Chains A and B, each alone.
Chain A
Amino acid sequence: AQKVTQAQTEISVVEKEDVTLDCVYETRDTTYYLFWYKQPPSGELVFLIRRNSFDEQNEISGRYSWNFQKSTSSFNFTITASQVVDSAVYFCALSRGGQGAQKLVFGQGTRLTINP
C-alpha cells in the first residue's frame, strides 16, 4: 500500500526566513510519481511539481526547491526567503507510475503561516 507522511502539521515563521516542509513516502512500486500541491484559503489546489522515481535530481524554481532522496524515501520542499503570500496548506502526494492516470495518495498536509 502507498502512504505519504507529512509529520509537520503546522509551521509558523517570520517573513524572509527559509522553511522546509518534510515529506516521507512508502511504496512498493519501482515506478512512481511524487507531487507537491499548494492549497490557499480559496481551496483550489495549485500544482507545484511532479517528479518521477527515476529522476533524483534536485529541482529549483525561483524561491522553491525540492530535494528527492530515494535512499530515505523523502521528497522535501524548501521555500527560500518566505513571503506572506506563501501562507497556505501544502500537500505532498504519491501515485503509481505506468501508463494511464493514477489516483493520488495525499499526505495530511502542512499548514504554513508566514508572519510579516
Chain B
Amino acid sequence: GAVVSQHPSRVICKSGTSVKIECRSLDFQATTMFWYRQFPKQSLMLMATSNEGSKATYEQGVEKDKFLINHASLTLSTLTVTSAHPEDSSFYICSAGTYYNEQFFGPGTRLTVL
C-alpha cells in the first residue's frame, strides 16, 4: 500500500528557532500534498495545499511567511515553521494525494516550542 513518511516524528525547540518537517511519499508520486495542523483535542485543520513546482495555496488565517512550504518533487514536500513560538506547538500532519483523489496520511510530527 501507499506509504507516507514524516520526519521528524517529534521535535522540541526553543522559541525563535526554525523547524523543518519533511513529508515523503515512499512508493508513489503525489500530485498534491496537504499540510494539516491539529491542536490538542481538536480536529485537523488544513493549513495549505501544495503542488509540485508551484507555490503553495494557504488557507485563510495561515501566515505564509511563517509557514514556508516547498514542494520540490513529486515525492517530497517540506514545511518550515520559521521563528517558532509556543503557540505554534501542535501536531502537524501531511497527506499525499494522487490524481484519483486518494489521500495517504503521514504519521504526523509533534512540535513543542519552549
User: Which residues of A pack against B, CB within 8 Å?
Assistant: 33, 37, 42-45, 47, 50, 91, 95, 97-109
Contacts and interface: CB of A to CB of B under 8 A. Distances in A.
- Please tell me the size bucket of the interface on B: 20 to 34
B31 interface: yes
A100 B105 contact: no
Contact of A103 (B31, B49, B98, B105): B49
B107 A102 contact: no
Contact of B101 (A45, A47, A102): A102
Contact of A100 (B44, B99, B107, B110): B99
A82 B99 CA distance: 36
Contacts of B54: none
B105 to A, nearest CB: 4
B44 A101 contact: no
Can you list the 9 inter-chain pairs with the closest CB atoms, starting with the nearest? A101-B97, A101-B32, A45-B105, A44-B107, A106-B43, A43-B108, A106-B44, A108-B43, A103-B46
Secondary structure at the A interface, as helix, strand, loop or mixed, is loop
Given A45-B93, A91-B44, A104 B103 contact: yes
Contacts of B95: 104
Contacts of B43: 91, 106-109
Nearest to A4: B43
A100 B46 CA distance: 17
Contact of B99 (A50, A101, A103): A101
B67 interface: no
A101 B91 contact: no
A101 to B, nearest CB: 2
Interface in B26-60: 30-32, 34, 38, 42-46, 49
Contact of B91 (A43, A102, A109): A43
